[in-house]
A = this chain, B = another copy of it.
Amino acid sequence: MSARKQARNHGGRPRDSRVDDAIASAVQELLAEVGYMGLTMAEVAARAGVGKAAIYRRHATKQEMIFDVLLPDQFLAVAPDHGSLSADLAAVLAEIADSMTTPPQGTIPGLLADIHADPALRDRFDRKYLEAQRRTLTEILDRAAARGELTTRPDPAALNALLVGPVFAWLFLLSESPEQLPVLTSALLDAALALTSSGPSGAAVQAGAP
């Protein structure tokens, strides 16, 4: 996935997959030790017991390297049927929370900034994540519609933002403790479900016109 172009399986020494692993491990360790900004390519190379050239052969820039290492290839790729809309959304929410709490502390904001700074990275992020996420949510909504659980069908992007955003905000904007995440997620689930059972701003209209 990170390989720029896997050499035509003809001549030449093949890439050593142990090098990929060593780089990934070194990045993970160093991110945990020195943080996102403190990470240097020289240190990654040294820690991995690898030359800098071997890194740049795999990742065009430091930012791409971190991106490749931190972001797992599968993300919200599967949407197993849990039997109800509520259970499906809870599963999605759990996976979102997981993907934001597993990387070393403080790397997500750095990564996000780099993604916004580099169009190439942004494209890759889009194709790798957002697409899968959109697909999964659509599937879940389709199933719920088939079950007759939906009064109204919410905008997929809005639902996506509603699920991902608060978790991100809890962790990185409000700096609330990850352990207290359940406080958020249970409330969040209610809120999300509310979107599926009432008119598309009905509450607001009612509340705004007493």
Contact = CB atoms under 8 A, between A and B. Distances in A.
Interface stretch (A20-28, A72-80, A106-114): A106-114
A109 B113 CA distance: 5
B187 A84 contact: no
Contacts of A188: 158, 162
B175 A162 contact: no
Interface in A55-90: 84-87, 90
A45 interface: no
A154 B110 CA distance: 31
A170 B158 CA distance: 7
Given A154-B187, A201-B186, A168 B170 contact: no
A176 interface: yes
Main secondary structure of the interface of A (DSSP, over half): helix
Interface in A22-52: 35-37
Contacts of A168: 165, 168-169, 173
Contacts of A36: 113, 116-117
Question: Chain copies in the assembly?
Answer: 4
Contact of A187 (B158, B172, B207): B158
A161 B168 CA distance: 8
Given A116-B106, A189-B204, A202-B190, A157 B176 contact: yes
Contacts of A140: none
Given A37-B114, A164-B173, 9 more contacts: A35-B117, A85-B207, A110-B113, A130-B174, A154-B187, A157-B180, A162-B184, A165-B165, A165-B169
16 contacts: A86-B203, A109-B116, A116-B172, A155-B184, A157-B174, A157-B183, A158-B166, A158-B183, A158-B188, A160-B169, A161-B173, A165-B166, A165-B167, A190-B202, A191-B194, A194-B194
